[in-house]
């Protein structure tokens, strides 16, 4: 007889891993089913969390709540895994022109931004409250940890494997109560959440070797940071669609940021799932009683996945309402 689980999680990217840890911390039984897709958004993620983002340097949505949860969550994971995966790093943003200077001067007088601004001079500004998660290590060690407990299995679950029986999803060979879909852009291949507008956004990141070293994350059209004295991560590109545009454009930007020679060590590519309003997608299927989803994290999976997993868990287990700004109900007619 198959072991019975309270939850089955489909996908072990940032969303699936966060949900797994959330269930683990709350003593729930679960199993992760993952296809180990080669080009996943999570595996290509640079891992930076940042309260001021985008080309217009706007404060991240729900920043205070997201970052408070982020710190608590990943530190608990570190304690369980007995490894270091979360690193605090300020961001240095060189000015491009006088408009940049004027824009940042304006932010200095804005209470929404003040707490994140550390130091400004004629060349650039240092912002705080940021850092990075070693995503590859986090995903690898999470898999290993739960695999050792019999909570992880490799299986490419297809649409036809998910059978709707009396408004409940069943999967042959598995005995479970609830199912959480964390498949990223691959959710578009399923027909369960067709009302959710997922948009593919392709992205490249790269690992390089260089004599350049900085204590900061450098941001100038692209982000670059040292994870060892001579090794750095850089990225990420952001192209609508599924096409891998390669790293040539990214390499040109890196040269402008670090102004030193570098050697490419490894490149990464993934397709991010983004929603129409660039907010996460969290909630329950409106007909199928045991079907839930976390998706649409875009390029902010590191900062948004801990919060989204908490919102979904509290909704299911504590009967709390999901924040309406991320609830999938906002797209239902």
DSSP 205-223: EEEEEES---SSEEESSSE
> For the chain, what are the domain ranges?
4-50+135-195+276-331
C-alpha distances in Å from residue 165, one per residue of 7, 172, 289, 290, 308? 17, 12, 10, 11, 28
Q: What is the pLDDT of residue 333?
A: 60
pLDDT averaged over the chain? 93
More confident of the two residues 236 and 323: 323
Q: What is the pLDDT of residue 90?
A: 97
Tens-place pLDDT, residues 54-97: 878 889 999 999 999 999 999 999 999 999 999 999 999 999 88
Which CATH number is correct for 4-50+135-195+276-331, 3.50.50.60, 3.40.630.30, 3.30.70.1880, 3.90.226.10? Answer: 3.50.50.60
Tens-place pLDDT, residues 7-41: 999 999 999 999 999 999 999 999 999 998 776 78
H or E element: which one contains 265?
strand 262-275
More confident of the two residues 331 and 217: 217
Tens-place pLDDT, residues 165-200: 999 999 999 999 999 999 999 998 888 988 888 999
C-alpha 22/C-alpha 20 separation (Å) is 5
Q: What is the pLDDT of residue 55?
A: 78
Tens-place pLDDT, residues 286-326: 999 999 999 999 999 999 999 999 999 999 999 999 999 99
More confident of the two residues 4 and 38: 4
Q: What is the pLDDT of residue 39?
A: 66
């Amino acid at each position: 007889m198959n072991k019975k689980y309270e939850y089955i999680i489909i996908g072990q990217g940032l969303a699936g891993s966060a949900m797994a840890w959330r269930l683990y911390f709350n003593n729930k039984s679960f199993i992760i089913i993952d296809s180990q897709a080669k080009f996943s958004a999570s595996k290509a993620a640079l891992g930076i969390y940042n309260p001021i983002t985008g080309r217009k340097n706007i404060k991240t949505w729900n920043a205070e709540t997201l970052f408070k949860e982020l710190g608590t969550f990943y530190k608990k994971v570190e304690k369980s895994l007995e490894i270091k995966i979360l690193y605090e790093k300020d961001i240095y943003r060189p000015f491009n022109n006088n408009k940049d200077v004027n824009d940042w001067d304006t932010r200095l007088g804005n209470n929404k931004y003040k707490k994140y601004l550390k130091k400004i001079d004629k060349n650039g500004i240092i912002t705080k409250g940021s850092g990075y998660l070693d995503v590859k290590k986090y995903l690898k060690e999470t898999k290993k940890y739960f695999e050792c407990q019999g909570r992880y299995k490799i299986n490419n679950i297809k649409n036809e494997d998910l059978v709707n029986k009396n408004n409940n999803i069943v999967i042959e060979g598995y005995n479970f109560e609830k199912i959480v879909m964390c498949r990223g852009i691959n959710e578009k291949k399923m027909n369960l959440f067709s009302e959710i507008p997922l948009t593919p956004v392709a992205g490249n990141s790269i690992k390089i070797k260089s004599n350049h070293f900085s204590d900061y994350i450098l941001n100038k059209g692209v982000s670059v940071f040292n994870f060892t004295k001579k090794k750095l991560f850089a990225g990420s590109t952001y192209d609508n669609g599924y096409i891998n545009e390669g790293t040539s454009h990214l390499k040109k930007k890196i040269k402008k940021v670090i102004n030193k020679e570098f050697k490419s060590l490894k490149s990464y590519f993934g397709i991010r799932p983004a929603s129409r309003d660039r907010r996460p997608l969290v909630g329950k299927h409106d007909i199928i009683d045991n079907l839930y989803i976390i998706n649409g994290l875009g390029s902010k999976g590191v900062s948004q996945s801990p919060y989204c997993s908490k919102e979904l868990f509290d909704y299911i287990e504590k009967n709390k309402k999901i924040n309406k700004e991320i609830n999938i109900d906002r797209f239902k007619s």
